[in-house]
Structure 1
Amino acid sequence: MKRRPRPPRTRVNDKIRCPEIRVIYGEHNVVLPTWKALNKAKDLGLDLVEIAPNAKPPVCRIVDYGKFKYEQSKQKKSDKPKKREKEVKFRVNIDPHDYAIKMMHAEDFLAHGFKVRIQLQFKGRQMAHKELGFDLMEKVKIDLSGMAHIDLEPKLNNRNILMMVSPLPAEKQRRKFRKDGEIVDLTEADAAMDAYDDEDDEDDDYDHDDEDGDSSDDTEAGDSGEDDAK
């Protein structure tokens, strides 16, 4: 197995071995012997940092090395492509009003150029009726056909059905759930999605409590029957 080549380390101060360099500091851009550039950096309380080792002669800057590393790190982060993906969650027994609102937000995300990850999560005994989840995902797929194309068909993954869609070109997009063509602010859309997801979680907790309550009632009824029999 081949090892990945390590990126070349930045040479600083005494690690710069070549006899002559081009030095940039302030408004100065001059060729100097390396020892002289080092002395200049020390006089200024700064560091001599090599920034173009392959140039002839190599190019160095007189800077604060700590600040230089920080700026380089910031630049690398800003150069990384930003994540262009959003997520919309559904549940099997979602009511029509909540469904329409989630679909509006899915359309908003797609209109802004985001990919959208559609997730449907089964709770408790709902896993016994997986076909209902796939039916709902098929409906989502059809309802978003005017806004997106399918990257990943609905697929069962543990207790979830996942689907990934990408936006159609803007000129081909046709909304179904926002007829006026208005695009909401994404911060507002994200906040609304979080609110609905929190409500879903609360409903699920309530459903579990009901199941526990039913179980308790059954137990009490059974005990009562035994007492009558005695």
Structure 2
Amino acid sequence: MIRITPIRVIGADGEQVGVIETAQALKMAESAGMDLVEISPEARPPVCKIMDYGKFKYEQSKSSKSKSAGKASELKEVRLGRSVKIDPHDVQIRVNQSRRFLVDGHKVVITQKFRGREMAHRELGINRLREIAEQLADVSKLESPPRWNGPQASITLAPDKPKIEAFKRAEAKKKAAEAAQASRLAAEASRMNAEGAAGARAAAPQAPAADSLPATPTTPTTPTTPATPTTPATPTTPATPTTAAPATTGPTPGMDGAAGQAAGAAARGAAAGAS
């Protein structure tokens, strides 16, 4: 339902009708037995076209399928190397790569180059290409047999849809069988581990229960010797202070005359030396 008005209208034959009211454009489409389809809603005013909508959708679907088919038939090239002397392991890698391309729906051209004197042994390269085609026969069909193009030979393989579907089903069954086998092996390993643990527990000596052991006699406790009372310390007698005798500077009583003076002088000298 187109709600905006006015709109720019294109006729059924591609002619420009111009900017008109939506109601008028609907009447024009109805009178022509067609539909009014909005083809550019972002434009201002929006662009609508008078057309057969069912036919329009069919052509869109057909175009989409054509693009998908064109993409599926994309040509992929797989090179076997710059020389006929290529390791078989590397050849197998190229075979697996070609198989993936074919399963995805792509055509594959496989090329083998020759160098120098190898051109004298062209049959080696041709035989290798034929062997590869045989390995890929379960998903492909031969589109172009081995042919020469300068110093290289090539072969073209195309995907074979029925074979590819059968291959996918076989691969799905194979993966399911591998998953089931892995699950069985894991369950068997778990069961064996559980049985081994149970056997180890059964073989281990069992410790007697606590209530079955004889009671250990209790050793009587040795009475504690009472502590010896501590003798109080004897109080220390305070030291008696020493009284210093006063120095005698005068004459000793009882001396006379010169003796007294001499004694007094000696006493004063001693006092002076002491000070």
* TM-score interval, normalised by the smaller of the two chains: 0.3 to 0.5
Q: Which has the higher strand share?
A: 1
Query: With CA pairs under 8 Å and 6+ residues apart, which has the higher RCO, 1 or 2?
Result: 1
What is the TM-score with the length of structure 2 in the denominator?
0.38
What is the TM-score with the length of structure 1 in the denominator?
0.44
